[in-house]
Structure 1
Amino acid sequence: YLEEIRRFPMLERQEEYMLAKRWREHGDRDAAHKLVTSHLRLVPKIARDYRGYGLPISKGNVGLMKAVERFEPEKGFRLATYAVWWIKAAIQEYILRSWSLVKMVTTANQKKAFFNLRKAQSKISILGNGDMRLDQVKIIARRIGVTETDVIYMNRRLGGDVSLNAAIREDGDSGEWQDWLVDESPDQETTLAASEEFDNHGPAVSLSHKLRRDSAVPKCGE
């Protein structure tokens, strides 16, 4: 797959601008398709930061297509700059919807810790899922920009050795971990509804039928 997407040539600024104008002003699907395919290599590059979540790379393609649909070349920046935000947003949305434990990620700091904890741990050579030393917690909290409590909380949630019968909080008033472990996988009706909702955003999304390859596209990290 990676070799295949590298075959699509990258665009010069002027060509990108003209293709975007053709798409926005005339609904030229060929222009939109060329904008998408020329930026496909961005997706696996960004998805590497989320390896370990069982992420199909094609989920990032959805964000790329949204970026192409909304791209306004008159504003002067390149599509790649704009697309990075949309690709990350699509990937994070998929992860947050798919991971059952993310049900309890409710604050901005918790989301930041969820997406950055493992990367920060690897940078200071922390291996395994056990509790960290206090000095390690302090270092990671500073690097991520969250509280030490957020780091400890997320590390225990992401770790596989937490007892399902353990209390979520030490005061014992918030229930046990097993109370929150539910199957968050969408059923067929939910999946179809989400697909139809996305398709209603505009004709550019018809490209998804060419680019969605959940069964064929490798998952990040494979």
Structure 2
Amino acid sequence: MTRTASNTALAISPQVGSIDAYMQGVNSIPVLTAEEEKSLAERLFYQEDLDAAQRLIMSHLRFVVHIAKSYSGYGLPQADLIQEGNVGLMKAVKRFDPSVGVRLVSFAVHWIKAEIHEFVLKNWRIVKVATTKAQRKLFFNLRKNKKRLGWFNNDEVNAVANDLGVTSAEVLEMESRMSSQDQAFDLSADDDDQSPNFSPAQYLEDTNSDLAEQVAGTQWEEHANTRLLHAIKTLDERSQDIIMARWLDDGNKMTLQELAAKYSVSAERVRQLEKNAMKKLKQAMGEL
């Protein structure tokens, strides 16, 4: 699977073109239904079908982009975060067991986050010290001007600021960054639930949204829409038109009076037809 997975990632890599074009490309790839995903996963798991692996990877690239966005506030290129997440996705696809009974996206979230976490961890120190060209220049100049250990006094801060052409606040901020110690990414082994300790691993990611929950919601909405369309087809042509015009046409919904004029009946008759049609729809959707 390694060869196919690598070619898949390179085919629409965020490094090839603009990040917006990449996102547009992966969002255009259809999401697999539960049945399609299970069939492909079984072909890969039991038959080592590389074409199935490629389809599984391609259809889940959009979720990697979604996860990578939640790590965008740390001075690291979005394309790099996505690339690392793609590596995690490929590892997840390789290890996915379709007999477990969960969707691939729920299983893959752990692997995608693990790769992104590892990437951020390797770059944690440089991100903390200097994230812009101006900050890096100040960092190196400040190290050259700092002749001793310990904090600058006010006169030294002002002198360095004048020499480097920056504000005293910028000097103090950079000195604080340079003097701080690296923090462990994960909690140590002796930490427990009762400890008031924190680590970057606990707050690095934006946890305001649950990807698996969002995917499940989207899939349920698509399923419900499909059932509704099938149910509408069980109605007669006039009832279909009334339901579409009254409830499903976002652009130009018709009133009872307009439909009454269209079918040369009273508005009350249209209301009755609408009520009967809605009752039939509920019954049809319950049977699907």
TM-score by length of structure 2 reads 0.38
Larger radius of gyration: 2
Normalized per residue, the structure richer in helix is: 2
Greater length-normalized contact order (CA 8 Å, ≥ 6 residues apart) = 1
